[in-house]
Each structure stands twice: as structure tokens, then as C-alpha cells.
Amino acid sequence: MASSIAIAPASSAEWTPSSWRTKPTKQVVTYDDPTAVTSALTKLARLPPIVTPTEIVRLKSSLKDAALGKAFLLQGGDCAELFSYCSDEPIDSKIKLLLQMSLVLIWGSNKPVIRIGRMAGQFAKPRSSPTEKVDGKEIPSFRGDILNGFDVNERKPDPERLVSAYFHSATTLNYVRGQLASGIADLHNPLDWGLGHVRDKELQTRYQKIVHSISDSLRFMRTIGADTAGQLQTVDLYTSHEGLVLEYEQSLTRKLKHPGSHSPSTNCTDGKGWYNTSAHFLWIGDRTRQIDGGHVEYFRGIENPIGIKVGPSMKNDELVELLDIVNPTKEIGKVTLITRYGEEKVGAMLGPHIEAVKRSGHVVVWQCDPMHGNTRSTPSGIKTRHFSSIFSELSSALRIHRDHNSFLGGMHLELTGEAVTECVGGSVELGEEDLSLNYTSYCDPRLNEKQALELAFLVAGHYRNDRNDRRI
């Protein structure tokens, strides 16, 4: 998003946290009071980091394993967080759902699972138009709590929301860390993971079979004295968001010492690098990935692992050029390509992109986002997604990667741990007439807890069947 503050331009070759300001930028936001913007950004620049280089580098190391086919990346959370989601119950429900899904995926894929939440910072959303009509009146579009409010009387962008976003992010992540440290993810007690909110009896039965299998294995390990309890009591859960509001991201980009023996992805002469400390992982959206744009310019200079959304309009040579810009050293695990074609286009698009990246020499994490390409509206104008379309794109991606001697390294989902009715289909057979029962999203429709867990079972089943086929 464009800045409302004038900064001295940087040269085309030199990167600084502000060099994006010299580039054309999409998703522009204009504030009425530049002085208030300066004040908010100055305050952000003085606040402590939300995440640390040690955590960022640890995630990057895990993503290298995903790029090499040794791990699977599960990334999920709200389409757009609201500040009101910063509460114990909504956070707990997302943690538990991601833990449940990862347990199923570990069972199915026989690989470690990397967990990244779309949380503690996913407060901004790109919009196709800066304005919309409400009750016949044209007003600014809702662009996420970091910029304006959903209420029609709060649509004017407010720079104080930038600071509020920081504190809501920090508070959310602080609570997540506390819950993980307190044993919410302890595999010795997998039955304590709150299955009560998954009311589908068949789904509960399938999940509990996996849980019992793990419990039996843990008892066996205790019996023979091989119980590595410390490694089983907690997990890593990283945070992510779309790096859309570049003023905010710049303010939280700090030059910090590289941890341990980390080999930086950017030029480094003083043992330090530029880390975005607002989240562990950030991605560039499909609307803001222009080669000469401000977002690509910003992302090319940070040490964090990054994602790039890859939609139907992405050309093969454009994709390779993007990779060369943001990852010139071809660091494995640095870039995750998040493909989002739609079920009808994935067959024609994914294979050529895989081959183009192979020829380029880049080794990336391939991640499927089966949500964004499959959004549609009902005759009454309600946005929804069909579970069968979501699974169709995901299963097609799994097959296409196998056909091209590649592998799908992860999936990227918009989901919630609540019993919402926003996506139709699934084993509970939600219909369009059911959408009004509990449709709470202010942006895009999310999978509810039953649909998300069912999707994890389907993907896990694919991996188990694939392993069995290879044995024959």
C-alpha cells in the first residue's frame, strides 16, 4: 500500500526498509492526517519486536525440509482477523484445530508437520475496489481492522489502528506461547485436545483411532525407557500474515544479529540482517506481486521466509523472474509458492509452473491454497466455497506434483475453530440454505472445524494410499 509520508528515494540497486517507497504500489491507502500517520509509525518503530530472529531462522530451517520433501506445511487461520478475535476462546479453538489437523497429517504422511497460523497479524485484506455501495451510498471498502472498521461509520482509514494492530498481534502471540508452554500440545495427553466441538461421530471415531495409536506408541516408549518427554510436551506454532500494509511492515523491520551459524539470504558484512519482526512468515498477495512494484521491492530485502501467491495470470517467465528477485542466492526453503488457480484451472496451470521452476534451479516449497480460486456467490449474493471444489483442487495438486516428480509441500487454508456455516458441502452436507445459520466472516468464507478436520483426513488418506501403491 502506498505511503502517505515522503521519504528520500533510494537507488534501484540499494535495498533499505524504505526503498519500496520509490516503486509503484498497489492497494493504496490515503490518510487524511499525515501528521497522525507519522506519529503512529514513529511509535511503532520504537516498540520491541514481536518475533525474534532465532524463531524466524528455525522456521526457515524447517521449511527447507518441506522444500526437500521431508516435512509438510500446514498453514491456516482466518481470512481477516478482527481485533475482537484477540480473546482466549477464539485463539484456543484455532490452536487446537491446527494441532488436531497436524496430528492427522503426521499419521497420514509419516512426516513432521510445520504449523503456521494465519493469526497474530492477519488484519489487512486487499480489495478489488477501494469503495463499495451500502444502502445506495458509496463508502470506502472495509480493508481490515488495521486500516478501518467494518461499521459504516468507521470506514475512514485511521492511523491509530496501525498501533492497535501491533498490540493485538503481540497479545495474541503472547497467549499462544503461554498455552504451548503450559502443555496444550502435550502428546502424552492427546485426548485433552477438546474434541467436543467436533460433533461428527464418524470424524470423532477416526480421529480417536489415531490418538489411541499414538498413545499406545508412547506407552511402549515409556516401557523401554525411550520416552523423550521434553520433545513431546510442546510444538512450534509460527505466525504469518499477508505483508500488505508496507508502512507497518517497514516500521517493524529491524537490523538484528543473525542467530548462531545462520547463513543469511542477503548480503551481510556485519553479522546482522534485516528481519521483519511482525511475524515469522509473510506473503505477497496475487494482487501485489508486480515485478517492479513496491511489495516485491520490500520483500526482496528481508531475512524471513516468504510466500508468493501464484494465480492463473502468472506467466512462467514472470514466476522465475520473481524468484530471482526475491531469492537471488537460491536459498532452499526461503520461498513458498502458494498456488491458487481454482479447480477448473489447476490442471492446465500447475504442471508448466512446476517445470519452469525446476529449470530455473530454484528449490521452493510448493503449497496449495484451494480456497481463493474457488470462491463464488449464491444467487442471493452470499460469498461461499464448496467443499468438493476445495478438495478437488487439493487432490489435483497432489496428483500433478507426483506426475512431475515433484511433491506438494503443504496446504494453505482459511479456517476457523468455530462452528460457522460459510462453506457448503462436506460430510455434514451444509447447503446454501444453511449459510445464514452462523455466517460470521466479514470477508471471505472459511472452513469450519469439522470441514477442516475432514480435509486433513482426506489428505492423510491420499498419502497413506500413495505409500501403499508404491509398495506394490
Tell me how far apart the alpha carbons of residues 168 and 61 are, in angstroms, rounded to a whole number: 28
| Count of other CB atoms within 10 angstroms of residue 222 | 12
Determine contact, residues 165/248, Cβ cutoff 8 Å.
Answer: yes
Could you tell me which of 80, 125, 63, 99 has the C-alpha nearest to residue 280?
63
Could you tell me which of 183, 235, 188 has the C-alpha nearest to residue 215?
188
Determine contact, residues 342/374, Cβ cutoff 8 Å.
Answer: yes
414 is in an annotated binding site: yes
- For residue 339, the cross-strand partners are 310, 368
Q: Count the alpha carbons within 13 Å of 218 in the hemisphere toward its beta carbon.
A: 17
What residues contact 472, with CB distance under 8 A and at least 6 apart?
none
Q: What is the DSSP letter of 169?
A: H
Pairing between strand 383-385 and 238-242?
unpaired
Distances (CA, A) of 397 to 179, 344, 403: 34, 12, 10
Instruction: Determine whether 312 is exposed, middle or buried from the number of CB atoms within 10 Å of its CB (0-12, 13-18, 19+).
Output: middle
Tell me how far apart the alpha carbons of residues 76 and 78 are, in angstroms, rounded to a whole number: 7
CA 203, 208, 209, 214 dihedral sign is positive
Q: What is the DSSP letter of 88?
A: H
CA 450 to chain centre: 20
H or E segment at 392?
helix 387-403
Tell me how far apart the alpha carbons of residues 352 and 409 are, in angstroms, rounded to a whole number: 17
Angle, CA of 162, 167 and 170, to the nearest 5°:
125
Q: What is the DSSP letter of 447?
A: B
Q: Count the alpha carbons within 13 Å of 162 in the hemisphere toward its beta carbon.
A: 25
Q: Count the alpha carbons within 13 Å of 129 in the hemisphere toward its beta carbon.
A: 6
70 is in an annotated binding site: no
Tell me how far apart the alpha carbons of residues 282 and 299 are, in angstroms, rounded to a whole number: 9
79 is in an annotated binding site: yes
Residues contributing to the annotated binding site for Mn(2+)? 79, 372, 414, 444
| Bind-site residues for phosphoenolpyruvate | 118, 309, 340
Binding residue ranges: 79, 118, 309, 340, 372, 414, 444
